[in-house]
């Protein structure tokens, strides 16, 4: 798609194609005509564009998606998610290490997750799936509001996606339990439906035949766009990752 002149945008604005720009105008017109109440500070042009891209510039589908997100944010009180006290955070992270560290070559923040010897039973002795999901929402909401602007300033251009790296070294299916699928599915719905176009690239390291069986199930929770962004680097993954990730 032809891109509009970059000079029309500041570093905090996602560059749009002509089609996307027209779709955004139509979407905002529909929001006004249907008198949809929403937080304009949250649903700025960048956020609205995510719904347009997620629905391939189909304004009606983007509007339906947006409505569901607005309702979800109201029901779950997402505007107050920063107040959520995940007091067990450090204990959980000691069993399930994950977090953001540096940026890739495109300026996107990198989120790492280590599943070595993860025992979900031990984790659930400290917390619950519902609280884990709430914590995930808090972190991605913070990433969008804080990390993306900081990374945009550093890269001197808009950064609106993140890179995720998950390491499965010493991972065992027997340590996580079958109910993990419900957690993965719930988390996938949130990321795809309410924070669309946030995941730019997903790398899964040290996969084996056990994980590929899990992947056959997990990918049924994902849309085609997300699935196409998942890569399984070879055992020599450091050289593979150097194409996009800085070490």
pLDDT tens digits for 18-39?
999 999 999 999 999 999 999 9
pLDDT of residue 4: 52
pLDDT of residue 5: 46
Average pLDDT (52-58) is 97
How is residue 201 written in tokens? Answer: 């690239």
Which H or E element spans position 226? Answer: helix 224-228
pLDDT of residue 1: 46
CA distances, 30 to each of 20, 39, 47 (Å): 15, 16, 16
Average pLDDT (55-78) is 97
Residue-wise pLDDT tens digits, 89-131: 999 999 999 999 999 999 999 999 998 878 888 899 999 999 9
The answer to whether the beta carbons of residues 74 and 198 sit under 8 Å apart is no
pLDDT band with cut points at 50, 70 and 90 for residue 208: confident
Instruction: Give the whole-angstrom CA distance, residue 176 versus residue 61.
Output: 36
pLDDT band with cut points at 50, 70 and 90 for residue 247: low
Selection from 171, 173, 177 nearest residue 204 by Cα: 171
pLDDT band with cut points at 50, 70 and 90 for residue 175: low
pLDDT band with cut points at 50, 70 and 90 for residue 88: very high
pLDDT band with cut points at 50, 70 and 90 for residue 176: low
CA distances, 21 to each of 30, 41, 45 (Å): 14, 19, 10
The answer to whether the beta carbons of residues 224 and 192 sit under 8 Å apart is no
């Amino acid at each position: 798609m032809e891109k509009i002149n970059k000079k029309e945008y500041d570093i905090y604005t996602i560059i749009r194609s002509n089609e996307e720009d027209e779709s955004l105008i139509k979407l905002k017109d529909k929001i006004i005509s249907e008198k949809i109440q929403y937080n304009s500070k949250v649903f700025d042009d960048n956020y609205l564009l995510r719904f347009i891209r997620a629905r391939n510039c189909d304004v009606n589908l983007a509007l339906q998606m947006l409505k569901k997100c607005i309702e979800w944010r109201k029901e779950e009180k997402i505007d107050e998610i920063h107040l959520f006290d995940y007091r067990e955070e450090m204990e959980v992270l000691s069993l399930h290490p994950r977090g953001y560290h540096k940026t890739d070559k495109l300026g996107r923040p990198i989120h790492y997750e280590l599943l070595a010897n993860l025992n979900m039973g031990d984790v659930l002795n400290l917390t619950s799936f519902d609280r884990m999901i709430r914590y995930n929402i808090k972190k991605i909401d913070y990433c969008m509001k804080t990390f993306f602007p900081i990374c945009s300033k550093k890269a001197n251009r808009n950064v609106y996606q993140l890179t995720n790296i998950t390491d499965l070294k010493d991972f065992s299916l027997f340590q996580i339990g079958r109910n993990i699928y419900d957690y993965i599915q719930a988390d996938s719905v949130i990321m795809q439906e309410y924070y669309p176009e946030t995941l730019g690239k997903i790398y899964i390291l040290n996969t084996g035949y056990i994980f590929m069986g899990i992947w056959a199930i997990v990918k049924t929770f994902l849309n085609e766009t997300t699935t196409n962004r998942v890569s399984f680097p070879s055992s020599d993954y450091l050289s593979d990752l150097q194409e996009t990730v800085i070490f």
